[in-house]
Amino acid sequence: MRIGELAARAGVSVRSLRYYEQRGLLTSTRTPSGQRQYTEYDVDRVHFIQGLYAANLSSSTIAELMPCRDTPSKHNSDATLERMARERERITAQIDDLLRARDTLDKMVATARAHRESLLHPVPAADESAVTQTSTPLSSVAPPCEPTRPRRGPGAKANALAARRAQASSPGLRLLPDLREAQLALHRARADFEEFAKTLPWSAEPMPGWESDE
């Protein structure tokens, strides 16, 4: 049969068949005009090659396994089993690398989500309106007194200092340091996220065992 018929029956492209022949996995005879000719046996051979490629084996590895099919013997069978065991170890190592990469990605996603939540629900800034809404009115915690004009004299400075201390002890004004501390905590969380992002493997390094001779 010609190459087009073999490609149709085996379910592969003509280009793939030519590549298999270049790699020594498939052979053909030539007509006087130079056209490739294949046999019925080659249909099963192409299916076998496709199955080995589906197992993530390279063309050079497949070439090492073909003697077990072409010339069956105990020696070729043992060599094939040993080669396939090494390939299984390689694939297992690739799976472990992918699992570690997924764990790293999961941590990055969790950190990014936490950062997004901090953007959607920021801590309100410490301003006068927040103090007014969340604090107890000063009039309810301080004894009422008649407004007086500050006196000029030796006791004026002491009176002003005492007034500032009384205001500082008010529960409403004590909220301001708490709000500022919350803002600082938010800034520290964002800084921690940026530091964590620097440790992530942003530059993709080739995984060991992924080198292919294809």
**pLDDT single digits (tens) 18-31:** 999 999 999 999 98
Q: Is the per-residue pLDDT at 118 higher than 80? A: yes
Residue 132 — very low, low, confident or very high, per pLDDT cuts 50/70/90? very low
Report the 10 Å Cβ neighbour count for 42. Answer: 20
Residue 207 banded pLDDT, cuts 50, 70, 90: very low
Q: What is the pLDDT of residues 11-20, one digit of tens each?
A: 999 999 999 9
Same structural domain for residues 122 and 183? yes
Q: Evaluate whether residue 207 is within a structural domain.
A: no
Q: Residue 155 has what pLDDT?
A: 58
Banded model confidence at residue 200, pLDDT cuts 50, 70, 90: low
Kindly give, in sequence order, each residue whose CB lies less than 8 Å from that of residue 42, ignoring residues fewer than 6 positions away.
6, 10, 26, 28
Q: Which domain range does residue 28 map to?
A: 3-86
Whether 205 is in a domain gets the answer no
Tell me which residue of 170, 175, 174 sits closest to 130, measured CA to CA. Answer: 175
Q: What is the pLDDT of residues 56-105, one digit of tens each?
A: 999 999 999 999 988 999 999 999 999 999 999 999 999 999 999 999 99
Half-sphere exposure of 120 (CA within 13 A, CB side): 6
Tell which of 86, 117, 134 closes a domain: 86
What total number of domains does the chain contain? Answer: 2
> Band of the pLDDT at 121, cuts 50, 70, 90?
confident
In a shared domain, residues 42 and 106: no
Residues present in the chain in total: 214
- Name the residue among 164, 172, 185 with its Cα closest to residue 133: 172
Q: 103 and 81, same structural domain?
A: no
Domain membership flag for residue 213:
no
Question: What's the DSSP call for residue 36?
Answer: E
Give the single-character DSSP code of 23.
T
Residue at 74 is within a domain: yes
Listed residue (80, 44, 77, 75) closest to 62, CA to CA: 80
Range in 45-59, 109-123, 195-209 the model is least confident about: 195-209
Q: What is the pLDDT of residue 159?
A: 63
Judge contact between 36 and 30, C-beta under 8 A. yes
Q: Which range has highest mean pLDDT (149-153, 161-165, 171-175)?
A: 161-165
> Quick one: 81 and 100 in the same domain?
no
Same domain, 9 and 46: yes
Is residue 115, in this structure, part of any structural domain at all? yes
Calpha distance 36→23 (Å, rounded): 16
pLDDT of 212: 42
Dist. CA 205–CA 194, nearest whole Å: 22
Instruction: Look at residue 210 and tell me if it is in a domain.
Output: no
Highest mean pLDDT (candidates 127-136, 187-196, 201-210): 187-196
- Choose the most confident range, by mean pLDDT, from 110-124, 168-182, 184-198: 110-124
Residue type, 48: F
What the block records as the tokens of 131 is 């103090």
Tokens representing 195 are 């530091």
Cα separation, 138 vs 123, in Å, equals 24
**CATH code for position 17:** 1.10.1660.10
